[in-house]
Amino acid sequence: MRSKTIKTIILFVLVLALSLGACAPANDVSSSAPEEPSVTPPSDAVPPSGEPSPKLNEDEIYLRSAEQTYIMEIGILKNNLKFCTDGDCEFSYDFDHEDYATLIEQYGIDEIAGEGGDFERAVRLMANMKPRLTHRSDYDNSVEYRALPLLEYALDQPEHGINCLAKSKILNEMYLALGIYSRQVWLMPYSPYDGECHAVNEIWDRELNKWIMIDVTNGFYWIDKAGSPLSAIEIRSYLALDYFCTPISPDDTRSGYTDAGYRQVREDNFWNVIYIAKNMAYLRYETKNGVNEDYDVRSLYPESLSELLERYGYSQLSQLSAERSPIK
């Protein structure tokens, strides 16, 4: 039997690890940013005020390890694997906004991205921006929701942290300025009591002919066991079926591009695996991507959540629409 001290340390480390990925809550957006409908539990589900929470003996606590939490999270995904099929929608991408010239000239994003395919260029830009944009989960979204004002406020200024929503907005406009198809995606939790979500980007790589998830907040993209980059939908499916996939940093050469190396990378970044699994219950997509205030956020959600999310005004998106090529 482990000592109480070791049990306490394990539980503390787990909680800390999950908190490291904390980003903007689902309803933590300014009036100039796309609004997230709040999902509130029905009144009859809330315990009476003043009623104490049940006390558990330490030996009764199940979630002692990261592995147990992972099993719980991927089990939720497995039981909610099938998406609703309605909600056909066309996405749009603005490649011609006047702000883009400033992004290229003032911030040198073309040179940072360098040569190569869409994925290679997108990853270089993500890797450059990640350490230059300090994370702050309680950022109040007070800066105008556009790349240029956000960069002026936050780039290379650690005292001005911003959340994952603002970071993904910056990357979205940068990618579009470089002619890369890009969209913002919200990764959403299953629990209606969980007000914390995560925002990322997806870019379309014309050589691989697929969407690829780019997470600038954590400095990762995700790969399968062959090292192929994955979309958000693919990551969700791999996690739900307990297939191998892992987040990986673009400068991480420790893997040696081998199976054992990739498994070591996954072990080293297991906190991020758990965090993303927690936020993969359903996905929300910005369908009008550019420098604009004409937002249209659609939700790709499993059949089991359809009644709840429709009750709160979420517009449905089909998986076919989310996976479709943006190139006409």
pLDDT digits (tens, 9 = 90+) for 244-256: 999 999 988 777 8
- The overall pTM is greater than 0.75: yes
User: Is 124 contained in some domain?
Assistant: no
User: Is 217 contained in some domain?
Assistant: yes
Tell me what pLDDT residue 135 has. 96
Q: Is 141 left (phi over 0), alpha (psi -120 to 50) or beta?
A: left
User: Is 105 contained in some domain?
Assistant: no
User: Is 79 contained in some domain?
Assistant: yes
User: Is 166 contained in some domain?
Assistant: no
Provide the domain limits for residue 233. 4-35+57-97+181-323
User: Is 164 contained in some domain?
Assistant: no
Residue 321: strand, helix, or coil = helix
pLDDT digits (tens, 9 = 90+) for 136-181: 999 999 999 999 999 999 999 999 999 999 999 999 999 999 999 9
Name every residue whose Cβ is closer than 8 Å to that of residue 31 and which is 6 or more positions away in sequence.
none
pLDDT digits (tens, 9 = 90+) for 75-85: 999 999 999 99
How many other CB atoms sit within 10 Å of the CB of residue 86?
Answer: 9
**What is the tally of structural domains in the chain?**
1
pLDDT digits (tens, 9 = 90+) for 44-100: 444 445 556 566 566 666 667 889 999 999 999 999 999 999 999 999 999 999 999
User: Is 31 contained in some domain?
Assistant: yes
Tell me what pLDDT residue 63 has. 63
d(CA 246, CA 263): 8
Give the torsion sign (CA, 98, 214, 123, 116). negative
Sheet holding 198-205, edge to edge: 245-248, 220-224, 210-215, 198-205, 182-188, 282-286, 297-300, 315-316
Evaluate whether 205 touches 121 at the Cβ level (below 8 Å): no
